[in-house]
Chains A and B, each alone.
Chain A
């Protein structure tokens, strides 16, 4: 089975591309803490380094570290590194993160292919216990519920449990394997289907952040206690359901600085269980230019594009500033 970066070109996932640009716009707001260029960025660049390219070009960040667990293809990753300032660390994130210096304010986007599991929670713990005030932590995980397994999968379930196959219980068994005792009490198999899996995952992530900060804060004086404020809660589907949650870690004394960042003026910021759903309508380049010529506008004004469903127009208007344009180019 080839690695996922050979199956999908990450740059072509439109919802992800929109999310990336939205995150970038939010990162830009961190300037009351310090010059954005002086932040460090830590991410999983894969071979496309899309996030690294965007953040270096848009924000001028130069202290960049890409963690890569596929040690077997080191040459390939080094070759594809777009800028010299990107350092590469070949290790699992759970090994790499604890070895970093944490004095520097950091933007971390832990963009996993996997579903939420204990190793992701361990990474969250590592960051929450160490990150400096003014750092941003963003986590993306696959939140696609388990599909009905094949005949072999069902037989194995029945063989191991001596119970007739039950999809809800099957999902609960898998969730227990992934998250273990951190699964919220009272979670049933019915909570693990459709969009609900994302809800449970967000809850588990929030619980982990709260627990780790309480451990960190137990030995700190009040003014140095670290808080977490959620800023991001995206859901989208470029194939599988994806969940992105994240926010800012700051100490009590820095609360006025967080306010000065004015994150709330960005339309996609979500502080709670409501999420921002990213949908990328399929539009032609000509339709996009036509709609752009009518934007920005107020909701009262009706946007027009011949033959484009009103729903798609509405969706486009919500994300147009972050909308990627794909085109075929012939390199000469």
Chain B
């Protein structure tokens, strides 16, 4: 029976009956879509869309007087912005569609890249959402009850979200444009989490990091009425201490074998405010920070790159890498925008530059530490840091290597050796009195000289 079955010529079943329905159910789709995204990230995805709006409105990147306001509590979530609104075609072909059509024209240099952001966030948060958006020419409302949408059937046309209101051909003043998104009937775990002050702190911190560059361009982001602050990307600069700066451009042809926009890369390395926690490399893709204060082999550290491991002596170190491209697909970011795609050819190439730029800074910091422990009267390296001014990296325009003073040549004369030991305080104080000296260093030197005077000749 089995054999004959194998041997028998099989005829393909005809028509509908032969199709296996591989289209996902809405429920399955939602659960897969929302499974891997932390709540903070889902919300930051929405702010990315606002920033893209700002970018469409002001391509020069000056976001003065533009704002994004997020309000959340255990009942309700709202994000509102005045960043130009979502154009109807983007809403129809991209924002509310499932999966992003290859031919869709996005915002050049945009943050939202993967065609899932908005919908994923809505499903992650609650069961009812309303999007109201006004651009210079149009106004629309999309109001979706997720439970009804899920119950409405699975045929392809039932997957669409519909415009509840749509007006086009309008003339709206720029200041009246923008988007307001409300989500309610929050999922129980989301409602619980939104009630936690610690969640809001974490969200504020992550937004501050993710949008460090955008905040620097004066975009005002607020969470429950509190403005989000950011740490500017600064390096110390002066005549004797200059951050390293390298500019590179990678042609699309070389990266993916097809013509397309180039990837522009700017790299800065130098010293800044000493902080164990904040030292390391920072990586931005189209203005979105995806790696913060990296101290691991993912950037430049440790043996794999013939580099030292990150260490408190390097707490002054900062490196900033900016990748920009009109086609975000060419950038080395992961889909969640929480990390760098370490295997991408562009990142591998740039990583070598980053390592080369890091080395001279670490040498300077090692010498600085040597100078500090030797505690000489003159400290040229420390003075170089003291004399420098914190300078925003964007101000640096001419590429040049890292400049720092060299340690002074070792003083002439015999080679010296430091000795260190501990003795009971009482005895040391007594020795200090007998020797009539003031410092412990002098106690050490005088007692050594005393010993050498009487015993040193014998050897």
Q: Select B189's contact among A163, A182, A218, beta carbons within 8 Å.
A: A218
Q: Which of A174-218 contact B (CB under 8 A)?
A: 181-186, 203, 206-208, 210-211, 214, 217-218
- The answer to whether B420 has its CB under 8 Å from any CB of chain A is no
Count chain A residues whose beta carbon lies closer than 8 angstroms to a beta carbon of B.
Answer: 20
The verdict on A185 contacting B204 (CB below 8 Å), with A159-B385, A159-B386 known, is yes
> CA–CA, A161 to B272, complex, Å?
8
Task: Say yes or no for B199: interface residue by CB 8 A criterion.
Answer: yes
Q: A181: which of B189, B201, B223, B386 is its contact (CB, 8 Å)?
A: B201
Residue A160 lies at the interface, judged by CB distance under 8 Å to chain B: yes
User: Cα distance A163–B385 when bound, in Å?
Assistant: 12
Q: Which of A160, A203, A218 contacts B273 (CB 8 A)?
A: A160
Which range holds the interface residue count of chain B? 20 to 34
B192: which of A183, A207, A218 is its contact (CB, 8 Å)?
A218
Smallest Cβ distance from B41 to chain A, in angstroms?
Answer: 16
Q: Report the bound CA distance from A163 to B272 in whole Å.
A: 11
- Cβ contact within 8 Å between A161 and B196: no
B387: nearest chain-A partner, CB-CB: A162
In-complex Cβ contact of B388 among A161, A162, A186, A210 (8 A): A162
Q: Of A185, A207, A210, which contacts B226 at CB under 8 A?
A: A185
In the bound complex, how far is the Cα of B368 from the Cα of A160, in angstroms?
Answer: 13
Contact assessment for A160 and B201 in the assembled complex, using a CB-CB cutoff below 8 Å:
no
Q: In the complex, which residues of chain A have a beta carbon less than 8 angstroms from the beta carbon of B197?
A: 184, 203, 206-207, 210
A214 to B193, CA, bound (A): 8
Contacts of B256 in A (CB 8 A): none
Contact residues in B for A161 (Cβ distance below 8 Å): 273-274
Cα–Cα distance between A163 and B200 once the two chains are bound (Å) = 30
A218 CA to B192 CA in the complex, in Å? 9
Chain B nearest Cβ from A205, distance in angstroms: 11
Which of A162, A185, A208 contacts B390 (CB under 8 A)?
A162
State how many angstroms separate the Cβ of A121 from the closest Cβ of chain B: 10
- A211 adjacent to B196 (CB under 8 Å): yes
Residues of B within 8 A of A181 (CB): 201-202, 205
A280 to B111, CA, bound (A): 61
Bound together, the chains give a CA A311 to CA B189 distance in angstroms of 51
Contact B198 A186 (CB under 8 A): no
CB distance from B254 to the nearest CB of A (A): 41
Closest Cβ of chain A to B240, distance in Å, is 14
Partner of A185, one of B189, B193, B196, B223: B223
Contact residues in A for B236 (Cβ distance below 8 Å): 162
* In the complex, chain B residues whose CB is within 8 Å of the CB of A203: 197
Of all chain A residues, which has the CB nearest B390?
A162
Bound-state CA distance A213–B104 (Å) is 46
Q: Within the assembled complex, what's the spacing in Å between the Cα atoms of A183 and B200? A: 11
1/0 contact string of B201-237 vs chain A (CB within 8 Å)? 1101100000000000000000100100000000010
B440 CB to closest chain A CB, in angstroms?
17
Q: How far is the CB of A326 from chain B (nearest CB, A)?
A: 34
Q: Cα distance A159–B382 when bound, in Å?
A: 8
Q: Which residues of chain B come closer than 8 Å to A218, judged between CB atoms?
A: 189, 192
| With contact pairs A159-B385, A162-B236, A162-B388 given, residues A208 and B198 touching in the complex (Cβ less than 8 Å) | yes
A190 to chain B: closest CB distance in Å? 15
Give the chain A neighbours of B192 by CB distance below 8 A: 214, 217-218
CB distance from B314 to the nearest CB of A (A): 14
State whether A210 touches B385 (Cβ < 8 A): no
Determine the distance from Cα of A162 to Cα of B318 in the docked complex, in whole angstroms: 15
Q: A207-B196, A210-B196, A218-B189 are in contact. Are A160 and B274 (CB under 8 A)?
A: yes
In the bound complex, residues from chain A placing their C-beta under 8 Å from that of B204 are 185
Residue ID in chain A nearest B225 by CB atoms: A186
Cβ of B352 within 8 Å of any chain A Cβ, yes or no, is no
Complexed CA–CA distance, A162 and B382 (Å): 12
Q: In chain B, what residue has the closest Cβ to A160?
A: B274
Which B residues are in CB contact (< 8 Å) with A183? 201
Known: A159-B386, A182-B198. 4 other contacts (CB 8 A): A162-B385, A185-B226, A210-B195, A214-B193
Give residues in B with beta carbon < 8 Å to A: 189, 192-193, 195-202, 204-205, 223, 226, 236, 273-275, 382, 385-386, 388-390
Q: 4 shortest A-B CB distances, which residue pairs? A: A160-B274, A185-B204, A207-B197, A211-B198
Question: Would you mind naming 19 contact pairs between A and B with Cβ atoms under 8 Å apart?
Answer: A159-B382, A162-B273, A162-B388, A162-B389, A162-B390, A181-B201, A181-B202, A182-B198, A183-B201, A184-B201, A185-B204, A185-B205, A185-B223, A208-B198, A211-B196, A214-B195, A217-B192, A218-B189, A218-B192
